[in-house]
A and B are shown apart, each in its own frame.
Chain A
């Protein structure tokens, strides 16, 4: 379909306006991160005192680097574990036939209907009894697998042509071989998507780490960031903004790298 010139300009105009609305707050945040706090507090937005001092302060005065490291450790572990366990789970639901398979799958799906916030109290009581509080383990163990991951990979594994499985059976491949040699390479895109998704999910965790970590040694970025805000006293807004910008960078990298896979992967199975 060809578009007329006016049509095209109109569309671009709408797109530009929407882009400005969406990007506006980010640009504003970035700009204020370059201003001294005294100017921010007074509301002088077009200040001439632009510098990277806030970034220097953030790195020197706060534990932001430690938070980044913690988040990185937690996110990478969670991502690796979810890839492994979700793919194994999904494999079982697609290629093994056992009694109650569908029922079990629906039970797993049902856990997706329950928001994590609703499970916080029993989960907290459990980790408390296990004496896991204030440790990396408490932020990794409850997230070793995810219902969403199993669901997504199951949908993608089901698109593997049954002929492939038959051919593999004829060749004499056992389940482990088929899983490793055929299923995983075939569903590569979905695996990348799940990896990016679980990494970001884990990176953006806020409530659970807030409840279960008590020292900077284990605290991830989002909670660290929130805690830079003071109560009752002086708020160093410039430095808080600078820290927020630092925290966003890894997310952006993952998104840029994974964008291609992300888009394809999330839609996968939706049309089936």
Chain B
């Protein structure tokens, strides 16, 4: 018991320092520094807003489309940052792993927490936009918390899986890049789900990312958002599918990472 306590104490100390280091290093030498973590999604938002809302009129079918779009982008960005960042994370720490034995999962946790802090900062920007857009949220807005938790868990599970897989198969980085590109369009981020034919939409919404983004929009932006419960009506068993996918990913990723992590030092 004492040994267990010792071990988690070490993990916690390491995690704290790695997250701090990551933040110190991230924007080092750039004039705007942390501002970039806010500017980056905002600039992407501005571009997409002009293309899709102004020129292609995607926003006509949905109220508060700018905020709707921004929220989608923020959540998707977080997902991208955690998963693509994780692909090379273990291999990148190869040198360290050959010098000292430490719990490897800390590396992935640290990457995830750094991105999470970014996400929280971005939510501050979003709330300003929401205030300008005259969106008011009630207590039901708190439902965003379990949704963010689901996002955190789903992302980190994939991060564990990808990082461990990359140690053995270096093709993963290219494959994941392509997958993410396709997934960006297969997830209702730019467009509202209602413009997609129902027989396609009912499959799209089973993707945990789609479910999370749509549910988040529903609780924060507009109840015009088509969520999984809207698409499937009262069939509550279906609602469990994205959660189930998340949980299965967690179990698989944890098992695989645990079994491989002992050998990272010699394999990277």
Decide if A and B are genuine partners: no
